[in-house]
Amino acid sequence: MVPMRSCIACRSRESSEGLLHLVAIEGQVTPDPKRELHGRGAWLHPRCFELAAQRRSFSRAFKSKEELSTADLEEFLKSGQTINSSTYTKEQK
C-alpha cells in the first residue's frame, strides 16, 4: 500500500510517489528523494514549488520562524532529477 501525503503548497493528497520529500536542515530546505534524511519532513509536488514560495508554505510546514532558504531545492528541481529514487523508472521526462 502506498502512503498518502499532503502537498504543503496546494494541500491536495496524493500517494507519496508523486511528491518530493523535503527536510529542513540548518535553515535550508533540502530535497530528499531517497527519503533517508531525518528531521521534520514535508512533501511537495515539484510543480508546486512556486506556489509554496508565494504562500510561504515552507516556513509553515517546518514551523520555522525564520525564512528558510530554498536555493538547494530550486537547484534540485531545475536539474530535473527524479523526485523518488526508490521507484525510479524510465518514464522519467
Where is 82: in which H helix or E strand? none
Q: What is the largest CA-CA distance in the chain?
A: 40
The rounded Cα 4 to chain-centroid distance in angstroms is 14
Opening angle at CA 80, ends 12 and 82, nearest 5? 65
Minimum CB–partner distance for residue 84 and Zn ion (Å): 15
Taking CB under 5 A as the rule, which mask of x and - marks residues 1-40 in contact with Zn ion? ------x-xx------------------------------
Choose which of 20, 23, 48, 77 interacts with Zn ion (CB under 5 A): 48
Minimum CB–partner distance for residue 40 and Zn ion (Å): 18
